[in-house]
Homo-oligomer: A and B are copies of this chain.
Amino acid sequence: MGKGRIEAFSDGVIAIIITIMVLELKVPEGFDLEALRPMAPIFSAYVLSFVYVGIYWNNHHHMFHTVQKVSGGTLWANLHLLFWLSLFPAVTHWLGESHLAAWPTAAYGIVLFMAGIAYFILAHVMIRQHGPDSTLARALGRDIKGKTSVVLYLVGAVCAFIAPWISAALYTFVAAMWLIPDRRIEHLIGE
């Protein structure tokens, strides 16, 4: 099967997820600067999630760029990833509204964790199809960055019950790790 439609469908779903989060940015209930203040945490959560969804689209783009054919299993592994990404708007808003309360902060980390796992599964379904010598397998390598991220999401989710600010810092750090191709960070995690 060609990869055209799975790319187009994923682009559609990710484009909707990234813009649907805007709908949660309710119009402030007043017309002065004070009205904007309660929006600061919601806006911060929105920016973080925008970056995360952007990272997933970017990685998804690169991953499918290396292959030409997709199997039936890839379709479902891809839908599984899209399912977890589709929960981003809901957990983003819950996090933003709660001012880093324990459960919303943990829920955000769990959705990040599950999306990371789903991406891992998708990558391995595609590698199984294309073989360990495929461009994809070599591009992914030992995927230490991916595995580190998934562990940090889980640590973040647990920290939510002790010190949610550590969770927020961890989520932001992982996003920055993917966004900024900093050699020191890459060295630090062993790539």
Contact = CB atoms under 8 A, between A and B. Distances in A.
A18 B22 contact: no
B18 A20 contact: no
Contact of A11 (B8, B22, B28, B98): B8
Contacts of A2: 65
Contact of A103 (B17, B33, B102): B33
Contact of A5 (B7, B16, B18, B47): B7
Give the oligomeric copy count.
4
Interface in A42-74: 47, 50, 54, 57-58, 61, 65, 72
Interface in A81-104: 82-83, 86-87, 89-90, 93-94, 97-98, 101-104
Nearest to A85: B19
A36 interface: yes
21 contacts: A1-B61, A1-B65, A8-B8, A9-B61, A17-B19, A17-B22, A22-B86, A23-B23, A25-B87, A27-B94, A28-B94, A31-B94, A31-B102, A31-B103, A31-B104, A32-B101, A32-B103, A35-B103, A58-B72, A58-B75, A58-B79
Given A23-B23, A61-B75, A18 B11 contact: no
B36 A103 contact: yes
Nearest to A97: B27
A2 B4 CA distance: 13
Nearest to A89: B22
A9 B57 contact: yes
Nearest to A86: B22
